[in-house]
């Protein structure tokens, strides 16, 4: 956790009067707070994690648990965690942190700027160091460009700075806020093959819209098209357009799964649904030395 004087220094360097400030958030973690004509948002530098995005004229689009832990070394429950360089459990080390180490690192704020159209863009960086090498012995740079506007555009770039190739998984683990998950459905996955984690990763194929009627943890493979949550309760659609993403993960813990999570309220599972752009499992990316890979997700709130 950064001391408050350092947060104040970041604000002096990067803050934009009446638009964007670096402040101490919950647990003292540094947060970029954005208020513009286009949208209100918060991005935690811990994990470079979007915590809130509310485009002008719309309700909040992002879910964060009221019971989330706010302390170094512990993931924030909700928002948009960055999963890297593996997704879920690390295949060769069950003691490794779930979903990798990027979401529990404090990232460096590299730039923060406002444009005439009301959008605000920040770039956060992180790279390998002595704390990452025991888990993953590769030299890398992550650059995360977040554009806050009427749409939320997320661009995660991975650069291989090492002498040999490496293979990684990645996901933008978006927790969407919904009115009532039982009255929501996911469109854009018709005919797509997926791996069902709740059924031993058996491969299945989706037909029609996805209705959430129980614990759901599916990785949809070879799908690059847009995905929409149709939220009847809030009468809106939450659309994710993807670029350089061949996987989509859909997750809701339902009552039984949420009950096992200390950082999840008893009934909060009804108000969230994760739909995640990424490249996971057999969609993992191999990057040669000097190469760069960019994953983009563009999120929109649309009328139903």
Work out the pLDDT band at 4, boundaries 50, 70, 90.
Answer: confident
pLDDT digits over 154-204, tens only? Answer: 999 999 999 999 999 999 999 999 999 999 999 999 999 999 999 999 999
Say whether pLDDT at 251 is over 60.
yes
pLDDT at residue 1, as a whole number: 44
Q: pLDDT tens for residues 75-101?
A: 999 999 999 999 999 999 989 999 999
Domain that residue 93 falls in: 4-303
Total domains in the fold of the chain = 1
CB atoms within 10 A of CB 155: 19
Averaged over 148-155, what is the pLDDT?
Answer: 98
Q: Look at residues 21, 53, 23, 25 and name the one whose alpha carbon lies nearest to residue 40.
A: 53
The pLDDT tens digits of the residues spanning 20-34 come to 999 999 999 999 999
pLDDT, the chain, mean: 96
What pLDDT score was predicted for residue 273? 98
The tokens of 82 are what? 């960055």
Residues paired with 52 in a beta bridge = 42
Residue 294: pLDDT above 80? yes
The residue-averaged pLDDT of 103-115 equals 97
pLDDT for residue 152: 98
Domain containing residue 276: CATH number: 2.70.98.10
Tokens linked to 264: 């999840």
């Amino acid at each position: 956790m950064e001391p408050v004087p350092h947060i104040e220094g970041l604000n002096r360097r990067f803050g934009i009067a009446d638009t964007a400030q670096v402040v101490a958030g919950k647990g003292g973690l540094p947060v970029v707070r954005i208020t513009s004509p286009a949208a209100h948002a918060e991005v935690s530098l811990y994990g470079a994690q979007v915590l809130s995005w509310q485009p002008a004229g719309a309700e909040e689009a992002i879910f964060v648990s009221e019971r989330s832990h706010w302390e170094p070394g512990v993931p924030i429950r909700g928002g948009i965690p960055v999963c890297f360089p593996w997704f879920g459990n690390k295949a060769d080390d069950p003691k490794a942190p779930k979903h990798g180490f990027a979401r529990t690192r404090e990232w460096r704020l590299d730039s923060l700027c406002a444009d005439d159209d009301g959008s605000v863009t920040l770039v956060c960086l992180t790279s390998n160091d002595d704390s990452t090498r025991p888990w993953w012995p590769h030299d890398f740079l992550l650059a995360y460009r977040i554009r806050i506007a009427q749409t939320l555009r997320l661009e995660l770039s991975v650069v291989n700075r090492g002498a040999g190739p490496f293979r990684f998984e990645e996901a933008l683990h978006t927790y969407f806020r919904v009115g009532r998950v039982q009255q929501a459905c996911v469109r854009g996955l018709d005919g797509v093959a997926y791996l069902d984690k709740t059924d031993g990763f058996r491969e299945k194929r989706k037909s029609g819209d996805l209705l959430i009627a129980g614990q759901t943890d599916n990785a949809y493979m070879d799908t690059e098209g847009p995905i929409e949550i149709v939220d009847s309760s809030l009468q809106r659609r939450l659309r994710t357009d993807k670029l350089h993403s061949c996987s989509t993960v859909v997750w809701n813990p339902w009552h039984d799964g949420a009950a096992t999570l200390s950082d999840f309220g008893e009934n909060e599972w009804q108000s969230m649904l994760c739909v995640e752009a990424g490249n996971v499992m057999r969609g993992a990316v191999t990057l040669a030395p000097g190469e760069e890979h960019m994953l983009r997700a563009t999120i929109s709130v649309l009328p139903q």
